[in-house]
């Protein structure tokens, strides 16, 4: 089990070559409304996550589906790059590949996150960064609900391997092929995400979503 006791200096001062990739092109079919626009503390979730990312490092890419003007308008004043995934309907793999293409010349680690984990906060992202600083050749992944997932900090070589994925295949498939290159960071609070109307009701009952 990794040691969770870290100081929290500014990430950009210590890991200046970190890129952040936010996967925000999901179509929220099961939820029935764009999860990116659900409110947390009176802010759209996509805005909340983007502000966390910008606070870590000024190089930030957000992958969105095409014709998502409401989502892009939430981010227009932030220093980040919006990229449209024209094939968002095919699943998460297409968003990973879109992000990988944007970062094909990036040679540093990449923090990848989604937008539907309402308990994600800056302190946890900083924790991932601290592990990456201590183990710069490793992929740092979140561990919850007896599995691994995002947020994760991955090596650029692994991100480029996403070109071989399809459908809803995500990072987990690639990461599990390299178990000796993984550090798992416990994150029980991130096991909950918002996929269905029932999830949204629960999140509101808990006060995680407005």
Residue 26's CATH number: 3.90.550.10
Asked whether residue 7 is domain-assigned, the answer is no
Q: SS3 string of 183-209?
A: EEEECHHHCCCCCCHHHHHHHHHHCCC
Task: Identify the burial level of 156 via C-beta atoms within 10 angstroms of its C-beta, where 0-12 means exposed, 13-18 middle and 19 or more buried.
Answer: middle
Number of domains in the chain: 1
Q: What is the pTM of this model?
A: 0.90
Give me the domain span that covers residue 198: 17-206
Asked whether residue 3 is domain-assigned, the answer is no
* pLDDT score recorded for residue 160: 92
Asked whether residue 8 is domain-assigned, the answer is no
Asked whether residue 4 is domain-assigned, the answer is no
Asked whether residue 199 is domain-assigned, the answer is yes
Asked whether residue 43 is domain-assigned, the answer is yes
The stretches of the chain forming alpha helices (DSSP H) are 11-14, 45-56, 69-73, 92-102, 122-134, 156-160, 171-175, 197-206
Asked whether residue 27 is domain-assigned, the answer is yes
* pLDDT score recorded for residue 14: 58
Asked whether residue 53 is domain-assigned, the answer is yes
Ordered per-residue pLDDT tens for the chain, 210 residues: 454 333 344 444 456 689 999 999 999 989 999 999 999 999 999 999 999 999 887 689 999 998 788 999 999 899 999 999 999 999 889 999 999 999 999 999 999 999 999 999 999 999 999 999 999 999 999 999 999 999 999 999 999 998 888 888 788 889 999 999 999 999 999 999 999 999 999 999 999 999
* pLDDT score recorded for residue 9: 42
195 touches 30 (CB < 8 A):
yes
């Amino acid at each position: 089990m990794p040691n969770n006791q870290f100081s929290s200096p500014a990430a950009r001062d210590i890991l200046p070559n970190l890129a952040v990739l936010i996967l925000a092109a999901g179509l929220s079919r099961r939820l029935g409304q764009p999860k990116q626009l659900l409110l947390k503390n009176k802010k759209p979730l996509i805005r909340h996550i983007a502000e966390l990312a910008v606070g870590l490092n000024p190089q930030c890419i957000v992958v969105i589906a095409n014709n998502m003007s409401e989502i892009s308008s939430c981010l227009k004043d932030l220093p980040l790059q919006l990229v449209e995934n024209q094939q968002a309907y095919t699943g998460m793999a297409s968003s990973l590949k879109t992000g990988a293409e944007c970062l094909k010349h990036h040679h540093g680690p990449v923090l990848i996150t989604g937008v539907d984990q309402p308990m994600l906060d800056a302190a946890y992202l900083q924790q991932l960064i601290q592990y990456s600083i201590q183990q710069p050749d490793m992929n740092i992944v979140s561990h919850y609900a007896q599995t691994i997932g995002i947020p994760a900090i991955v090596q650029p070589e692994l991100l480029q391997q996403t070109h071989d994925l399809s459908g809803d295949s995500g990072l987990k498939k690639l990461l599990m092929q390299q178990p000796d290159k993984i550090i798992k960071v416990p994150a029980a609070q991130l096991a909950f995400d918002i996929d269905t109307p029932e999830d949204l009701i629960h999140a509101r009952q808990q006060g995680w979503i407005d």
